[in-house]
Amino acid sequence: MASIIIPAKNEKENIGLVLSNIPKKHQIIVVDDGSTDNTSDVVRAFGYEPIRIEKNLGKGNACRVGVEHAKNENIVFMDGDFQHDPKDIAKILKELRKNDLVIGYRDFSKIPWYRNMSNRFATKLVNYITKKNFRDVQCGFRGIKKSKFQKLNLKGNGYEFENEMIINAVKNRLKIKEIPIKTKYHNISYTGKMRVGSRMPMLKSFKLFLYLIGCAFKRR
């Protein structure tokens, strides 16, 4: 068994697909991060009580709140937009038996161009900072031991959350494994929605790169 933590914002159309495909043996924790639609109502309709955050504070904060409610040592983070295939949970948990942190990596040729570019750049920066060779540092589908997560002292609330987890995991000498996962971009999670006329994705990417550049300078 594991605790499956799903941060979600305005995912009323997708969250049901996610929940209906996760084995019920797991503890499912949906953290509604300030949704303005009826995401929480959909979650309740599937028999789960969401953790409701009234004001959107970011994916990193939502994930940390989810961990506080996790009852199992094995934790899996996944997005609420049905981008990730719940069948891959079993693959992640299998590798988590022998590792502290298991990170999914995607086929970059299937990632929308505006995310592909930022993901590749972020991966290069994290690899420079950690002196490792990770394939995909931005993927939100990953598993970690709760006891190890709590030692990482993560602070990031936005895009930097996944990157900070990897950087701090390397610093703490956690055993890390990457595995291939399936993705489908019929929709984009709330952390990366691309809307015409919206500057938010660019602003979040800019904040991410400022964070990573700061880490890179500290490494020098």
pLDDT, averaged across the chain: 87
Task: State mean pLDDT over 70-94.
Answer: 97
Task: Locate all alpha helices (DSSP H) within the chain, ordered by sequence.
Answer: 15-20, 39-45, 59-68, 88-96, 113-130, 146-151, 160-171, 200-219
Is the four-CA dihedral 107, 109, 111, 114 of positive or negative sign? positive
Task: With a cut of 90, say whether residue 82 has pLDDT above it.
Answer: yes
Helix (H) or strand (E) holding 8: strand 3-8
- Ordered domains of the chain (ranges, CATH): 3-219 (3.90.550.10)
pTM for the model stands at 0.87
Q: Tell me the pLDDT tens digit for each residue of 64-79.
A: 999 999 999 999 999 9
Q: What is the pLDDT of residue 206?
A: 60
Which range (48-52, 89-93, 148-152, 184-188) has the least confidence? 184-188
Q: Tell me the pLDDT tens digit for each residue of 147-195.
A: 999 999 999 887 789 999 999 999 999 999 999 999 886 545 554 444 3
Q: Tell me the pLDDT tens digit for each residue of 108-160.
A: 777 766 677 778 888 988 999 999 999 999 999 999 999 999 999 999 887 78
Is there a contact between 34 and 7 (Cβ–Cβ < 8 Å)?
no
Task: Dig out the tokens for 123 from the structure.
Answer: 């991966």
